[in-house]
Structure 1
Amino acid sequence: MTDRKHEDNGVSGISNDLIADFNPPKAPKRNKYAFACAILASMTSILLGYDIGVMSGAQKYIQRDFGCTDGQIEILVGILNLYSLVGSAAAGRTSDWIGRRYTIVFAGAIFFIGAILMGFATNYAFLMVGRFVAGVGVGYALMIAPVYTAEVSPASARGFLTSFPEVFINAGIMFGYVSNYAFSKLPLHLGWRFMLGIGAIPSIILAVGVLGMPESPRWLVMQGRLGDAKIVLDKTSDSLEESKLRLADIKKAAGIPEDCNDEFVQVTKHSHGEGIWKELLIHPTPTVRHILMAALGIHFFQQASGIDAVVLYSPRIFEKAGIVKDTPQLLATIAVGFVKTTFILVATFLLDKIGRRPLLLSSIAGMIVSLMSLGIALTIIDNSDHKITWAIALCIATILSYVAFFSIGMGPITWVYSSEIFPLRLRAQGCSMGVVVNRVTSGVISMTFLTLYEKITIGGAFFLFAAVAAVACMFFYTLYPETQGMNLEEVEQVFGTFFRWRSRQAELDRKKEAEMLVNSKSQS
């Protein structure tokens, strides 16, 4: 009986092993601690979103109150993007110096001061000073939120969590649109001041909330604080085994021996990132050059395809389409914000299931069709001497479809992709460069859109954006590897072959399969 029992157990054990081999492992549960950290860090992006949304409506009332020209309004609206370069340029060094967490607090404090200054502005020059201060805060926030989130996230949920900054940008835009509508009935000299000044409230909430976050484990390792980094990794990983692997990868990237298990070690530091810029710009390896092309390219095309023109000037676009009254314009603008926010939420759940490339390519293809259709509709309206209802409806529908396609791919993937492809030693400065390109391109588009559509017609402006999006589609298809599910330290291995990245990715996949087979045999 005993022998029979042991025999049955042996057969049962073999059967269970076979079943385990054929059944894929279950997806890990969502890490709630990493989720909370990503939420708090990404709240910094509300600051940019609110400013974009609120300026779309406030600009009309500022122009009426101060008697500004269209040129002054273009500068007022778009200059924050250029001012943010100051914050972005300083954020990489600041975050390496005082840590990711306190850099986020610093960003919120700067934006708070800027919002107060804008709310109390008595003339155009005073308002520009407030825009400068707020812009510096936005630059800090834009750089640090995706970097921190990528560094604290487990690989299984990195796409989901690092898309949060874009979610909160959209939430901020939505709040800005609602603020426009809520304060539009106030007296002219008060309405726009409330619209801008109330932006100080999110920055206070942000500064308090962020103090409860842990520091980035990668930054802790760079400081030699291995014990603290291990504690954070244990909390933010899907398992203790993954935590150990992540710590080993980070130690390797930071130049710390793998067998070093001290709580604190001395790490050789390059003062203020010395040598990093040389490695990025002067003597980049093929891998770094490919990563730079991908990161800077996606930031450029995100803005050059016209998203800020639509979001910042949607009331004017609706006016050109035939919606002339303030209240219907603002309500239509709120619809844009609602659609944009809804689809970004959809995208967050698809990033780690579908992958970066399929969403990015689908997104840009939909944007091309929407921009072409919008250009056609606006051209027909522009050349007609009477109201064409179907063309107005087509304008509204294509604007909504454009922001929907943007939000489901191009919007979140830009921040996810650029924050995960840089090696650890280059990540802060590399992401700073991406933000610089993003903000410069956005600034150029937002500061020239009114002039552009006066020169080549409003329909022609959107045909131009469609052409840029078509170039972007080819660029993404040929140069962008898939990074879904890879550890941050593994991602750079698929770069460096440029147009031949597919063969490199296939080689890595074969290597992984071989390693899994060897491990399976050794376990059995």
Structure 2
Amino acid sequence: MAVGGFSAAGTSGGRDYEAKITPVVIISCLMAATGGLMFGYDIGISGGVTSMPDFLKKFFPVVYKRTQEKGLDSNYCKYDNQGLQLFTSSLYLAALIATFGASYTTRKLGRKPTMFIAGIFFIVGTILNAAAMNFLMLVLGRLLLGCGVGFANQAVPLFLSEIAPTRIRGALNILFQLNVTIGILFANLINYGTAKIEGGWGWRLSLGLAGVPAVMLTVGSILVVDTPNSLIERGRLEEGKAVLRKIRGTDNIEPEFFDIVEASRISKEVKHPFRSLLKRRNRPQLIIAIFMQVFQQCTGINSIMFYAPVLFSTLGFGGDASLYSAVITGAVNVLSTVVSIYSVDKIGRRALLLEAGVQMFVSQTVIAVVLGLKLRDNSDDMSRGLAVLVVIMVCTFVSSFAWSWGPLGWLVPSEIFPLETRSAGQSVTVCVNMLFTFIIAQAFLSMLCHFKFGIFLFFSGWVLVMSLFVMFLLPETKNVPIEEMTERVWKQHWFWKRYMDDNDDDA
């Protein structure tokens, strides 16, 4: 993508926001989006590490014994262990709690310092995990990583939405999700290599290499500029105006500057942003943000990406083959997210979500039928052809998620809240996301054990529900300036416009 000479104008009440796609915007977004790289690496690394025999032998000997004794082997239940699930899910529990502190720092200190704090949490958590000598140390490291996720997922999507020109806001915001998918892919590649290391320390290298994206985020947060919206919100008007001029590449910034100042003025009148979220005029944004997070997790994607190596082992692929298959799904994830970057500001958010709904529903149903007919609980009698079909369907599912609910689950909430409730709204978004991620991560292996192939039918049912939600209740936000959402989106929607009474302040 060229970084100079292109105009990205957005309209606001009949005025144009003049903006070029400047190098400082592209560089700042690339640096900030490394928060997604860290998040993705954490998602991908946990599934691979928890399938390594040396890791299981040291921290989860009961699970290790179960995987080694063939007579006790169960395709669906061999990894069902609450401690093992806690290793993964503790990160998301910590992120859930940390997001409330992140909401305060994002609003009072700015987006940039919040990303720096996230980087520090990531670095310390990585050190503890790589050096872990017992289960307590391992979980403590995951909790600190979770705090980093809470702070990063609070600040980065807001930073990207606010700094990007309107016409490419979707594409630049999806850089966060693209980095998540790249992080997952790198984690799968690293796990594939470290699993072959003899001596029992390969898992330490896998966990320790999380320090690379952690340092990238920390350094990047020092180098980027804070957003004009954040600076103006904190009373630094001249600095905010100078940054706006710098990132837009033009002197004609008065219309956008005026709208940000006006939004900031309204923001300052709100003393309790979380309480303000419950007011009638803010309910549509709050409902959309909450359900986007619930539905994102109920697609079943994290179940597949967390435990991709475990899932493919269940399909009888064996240890190396399972990691290899996980690498394939990771590559599909990255490539499909690139499709979303290209198309989200052209065909819109709704079209991507609705198309993906059909694709996800069909692929999960096929997976359930094949596993239900051919995979027995204590045998690996699935033919190679059917096993390959399952992998193809998993990739079909992953690709549809990667250009829809994956990036748009973060993009849409980050762009729909007014400035006065934006930090609080993003905090609720991250909190709900982490809550349901925690629930799914903690319950998935037990659900797999009890539901067996039916778990995919369970998630396909959710896909149907969320597609109906998008069809009737999600408005299109493509090419709408972020400070103009109320006038041009919510007041025009057939259902949500009834909540947009300017004089209604009732909670």
TM-score by length of 1: 0.84
Flag the 1:418–1:426 CA change in 2: closer, same or farther, 3 A.
same
Aligned-partner residue type, residue 359 of structure 1? L
1:53 pairs with 2:44? yes
Task: Give the structure 1 partner of residue 227 of structure 2.
Answer: 216
Distance 2:142 2:401 in 1: 27
1:468 pairs with 2:462? yes
Give the drift of 1:182.
1.6
Task: Give the structure 1 partner of residue 416 of structure 2.
Answer: 421
1:356 pairs with 2:353? no
Where do residues 121-520 of structure 1 align in structure 2 (5 Å cutoff)?
A: 121-187=132-198, 189-237=200-248, 239-241=250-252, 243-255=253-265, 269=268, 274-281=271-278, 284-285=279-280, 287-323=281-317, 325-383=318-376, 386-457=381-452, 459-493=453-487, 494-495=489-490, 499-500=494-495
Distance 2:382 2:341 in 1: 40
Task: Give the structure 2 partner of residue 21 of structure 1.
Answer: none
Distance 2:475 2:496 in 1: 6
Aligned length: 461
Aligned-partner residue type, residue 407 of structure 1? A
Aligned-partner residue type, residue 175 of structure 2? F
Describe the SS at the equivalent of 2:241. helix
Give the drift of 1:87.
2.0
Flag the 1:504–1:96 CA change in 2: closer, same or farther, 3 A.
closer
Describe the SS at the equivalent of 2:439. helix
Aligned-partner residue type, residue 280 of structure 1? L
Give the drift of 1:370.
1.3
The answer as to whether partners of 2:108 and 2:234 remain within 8 angstroms in 1 is no
- Which structure would you say has the larger Rg? 1
Give the drift of 1:239.
4.6
Flag the 1:86–1:502 CA change in 2: closer, same or farther, 3 A.
closer
Which stretch of structure 1 is more off in the superposition, 68-77 or 359-368?
Answer: 68-77
Q: CA RMSD in A?
A: 2.2
Task: Give the structure 2 partner of residue 516 of structure 1.
Answer: none
Which stretch of structure 1 is more off in the superposition, 347-356 or 179-188?
Answer: 179-188
* % same residue: 29
Distance 2:82 2:221 in 1: 39
The answer as to whether partners of 1:418 and 1:431 remain within 8 angstroms in 2 is yes
The answer as to whether partners of 2:19 and 2:165 remain within 8 angstroms in 1 is no
Distance 2:221 2:86 in 1: 33
Task: Give the structure 2 partner of residue 10 of structure 1.
Answer: none
Distance 2:122 2:394 in 1: 30
Which stretch of structure 1 is more off in the superposition, 31-40 or 391-400?
Answer: 31-40
Aligned-partner residue type, residue 361 of structure 2? I
- Consecutive unaligned residues in structure 2, runs of 5 or more: 1-15, 64-80, 501-507
Aligned-partner residue type, residue 195 of structure 1? S
The answer as to whether partners of 1:290 and 1:497 remain within 8 angstroms in 2 is no
Give the drift of 1:216.
1.1
1:44 pairs with 2:35? yes
Aligned-partner residue type, residue 36 of structure 1? I
Task: Give the structure 2 partner of residue 34 of structure 1.
Answer: 25
Q: Whose RCO is larger (CA < 8 A, sep 6+)?
A: 2
- Consecutive unaligned residues in structure 1, runs of 5 or more: 1-24, 257-267, 506-524
TM-score by length of 2: 0.87
1:96 pairs with 2:107? yes
Deviations 1:184-206 (Å, cap 9, x if unpaired)?
Answer: 12235311111111111221122
Describe the SS at the equivalent of 2:265. coil
| 1:111 aligned to which of 103, 122, 137 | 122
Give the drift of 1:238.
6.4
The answer as to whether partners of 1:104 and 1:207 remain within 8 angstroms in 2 is yes
Distance 2:200 2:491 in 1: 56
Describe the SS at the equivalent of 1:51. helix
Flag the 1:110–1:503 CA change in 2: closer, same or farther, 3 A.
closer
Aligned-partner residue type, residue 166 of structure 2? A
Distance 1:216 1:30 in 2: 15
Describe the SS at the equivalent of 2:345. helix
Distance 2:198 2:114 in 1: 38
The answer as to whether partners of 1:290 and 1:498 remain within 8 angstroms in 2 is no
Which stretch of structure 1 is more off in the superposition, 70-79 or 376-385?
Answer: 376-385
Distance 1:401 1:185 in 2: 29
